[in-house]
Amino acid sequence: MALTGVEIFKLLPKTNCKKCGHPTCLAFAMKLAQRQASLDACPDVSEDAKKVLGEASAPPVRPITLGTGDKAVKMGEETVLFRHEKKFVNPCAFAVEVKDTMSEADINKICDDVNSSEIDRVGQKLRIDAIFISNASNDAAKFEAAAKTVAAKAPAAAIILGTENAQTAEAAVKAVADRKPLLFGANDSNAEAMAGIAKANKIALGVSAKGLEALSALTEKIKGLGVEDIVMDSGAKTAKEIINNNTLIRRAAIKKNFKPLGYPVITFAQRDDVMLETLIAVACVAKYSSIVVLSSVEKWKNLALFTVRQNIYTDPQVPMQVEQKIYKIGEPTENSPLMITTNFSLTYFIVSGEVENSKVPCRLAVMDSEGLSVLTAWAAGKFTASKIAQFIKESGIENEIKHREIIIPGYVAIMSGAIEEKLPGWKVTVGPREANALPAFLKSR
C-alpha cells in the first residue's frame, strides 16, 4: 500500500533544513506522497528510511521502455483506474504480428505498412509502434532470418520476439539485441532459460500464464532469476476476459500495491474478423493494456485506433487545444464568409462540424484562448476585442479575402462595437449563440 504523507514524514529526518527545496519536512513528505518529488532530494535521509520509502514510492506499474531511439515507447507508470481522476500516463503501443513462416515479400510488405503508418492528428504524430515476430515455424534459422528482415526493413519500429522455445530465441535475440527487443514467451516450464537470455542481453521479458494467480507466481519467479523488466500476458483472449483480468491487474497494482502484478500488460487482439479485432483493441486501449498485438494494419483501422488511443490518453485536466490559425472549410473563395471562435478543441470540432454541414465554404479563424470555450474565454479576458483585432491583423487574412466582414459568436455580441473600433474598416456581424444554428444562419446569407 502506498504510504500517506504523515507516514512518510515519520521516516524523514524532521530537521526542516530546506535542502530539498521544500520549506518543511512535512511539506516534502506530502509531495512525496503525491509522487511529485523524489526522495533523492533529501541528503540526510537514513538508509533504513530509504529502503522503506524506496519500495513504497516505486511506481505501482513498473516503467519499461520498448525499443530504442526517439520512437521508443514508454510503458507502465500508471497511477489511476479511471481517466477522469488523472491522466493515463503512457499510451499503449500497437504492434502488428509477423510470422516467421511468411515469405520475405510478405514480411517486407508489413514492414512497409508500419513504416508508412504515421498520421498527424491534432498536432500529435501517431503510428504503429512495434512488430511482433512470432516463431510459428519453431525453427531457429527462420526466426533469426525474420528478425533480421524486420530489423532492416523497419528501422524505427520496436521489435517483440515471440517464442516459447529458448533455443530458437537465443540467436534471434542476439541478431537484433541492439534494438532492445522484448522477448516474449516465458512460462513456468522455460523460465530459467528465457530469463537467462533476457538477462544476458539486458532486455525485457514477456511472460505468459493462464490466470492471475499463476501469473503472479511466474513474475515472482522471473524476478527471482534476476529479470526486473517484465511484461505480462494473463492469457485473456475474449473481450470479457481482457476487461476483467486487466481491471483486476490494475487494481491489484494500484490499490493494493501488489508488486507481482505491477508490470505493463500485453494483449493479443488478433481475430479473423477485422472489425471484431478492432473492437477488441478498443477494449485493450480503454482498459489498461500497454501493448496490443494486431494481425493487420489497414489505414482506416489505424486511424480509428490511433484516435481512440489519443482520446483515452488525453489529460482530462488540460483542455484539448487546436492550433491558432485560420482554417479553411470547404473551398472558400476570396468572398466567402469569415468567422471567429476560440481554440477549445470541442468548440472547434462542433463549430467546424456545423459549418461543414452547412456546405457553405467558409474561413474559420480559431484564436488561441488557452483552450477555453467562447463564454469562459470572454469572461477570463482571453477573447477580447483588442486580442481579436490583433489576431486578425497579424494573420494576414486581409490579403486573402476581398471583404471586411467578420462573424462573431452570438454569446459575445456585446463585443461587436469594440471590435469595429479596434479593426477600422471592418464590419462585425453577430452569428448565432449555438453552433447548431450555424447551417441555417449561413444558408440564409
Partner 1 sequence: MAFVEPKESFAGKVYQITIGSDKTAVFGGENALPFLTVDGNYPNKPVIAFEIQDVPPTDWPDTVRKAYENVSGDPVTWAKYCQNELNAQAIALRLVGTHPDRENRTAEDAAKTVKDVLAAINVPLIILGSNNVEKDSVVLVAAAEAAKDKNCVIGKAQEANYKTIAAAAMANNHKLIAMSELDINLSKQLNILITQMGFDKERLITDPMCSALGYGLEYTYSVMERIRLAALTQNDATMQPPILADVGMYVWKVKETQAAEADVPNWGNVEQRGITWETVTAGSLMVSGAELLIMRHPEAVKAIQKFIDELN
Residues that bind partner 1 (CB under 8 A): 82-84, 119, 121, 212-213, 216-217, 220, 238-240, 243-244, 247-248, 251-252, 255-256, 258-261, 273, 275-276, 278-280, 282-283, 286-287, 298-305, 307-308, 310-312, 314, 316, 345-346, 349-350, 353, 356-357, 436, 439-440
Nearest to 11 by CA among 33, 254, 58: 33
Q: Facing residues of 182 across strands?
A: 160
> Terminal CA-to-CA distance of the chain, rounded, Å?
64
Instruction: Kindly calculate the radius of gyration of the chain based on its CA atoms and give it in whole angstroms.
Output: 27
Least distance CB 439 / partner 1 (angstroms):
7
Least distance CB 295 / partner 1 (angstroms):
15
| Burial annotation 43-79 (CB, 10 A radius, 16+ → b, else e) | eebeeebeeebeebbeebbbbbbbbeeebebbbbbbb
Q: Is the dihedral of CA 107, 108, 110, 115 positive or negative?
A: positive
DSSP symbol at 265? B
Nearest to 149 by CA among 121, 180, 110: 110
User: What is the spatial distance between Cα 274 and Cα 357, in angstroms, rounded to a whole number?
Assistant: 31
Nearer to partner 1, 159 or 282 (CB): 282
| Burial annotation 408-442 (CB, 10 A radius, 16+ → b, else e) | bbebbeebbebbbebbeebebeebbeebeebbebb
Distances in Å between the Cα of 284 and the Cα atoms of 19, 46, 87, 91, 136 are: 44, 42, 17, 11, 24
Give the CA diameter of the chain: 81
Nearer to partner 1, 171 or 350 (CB): 350
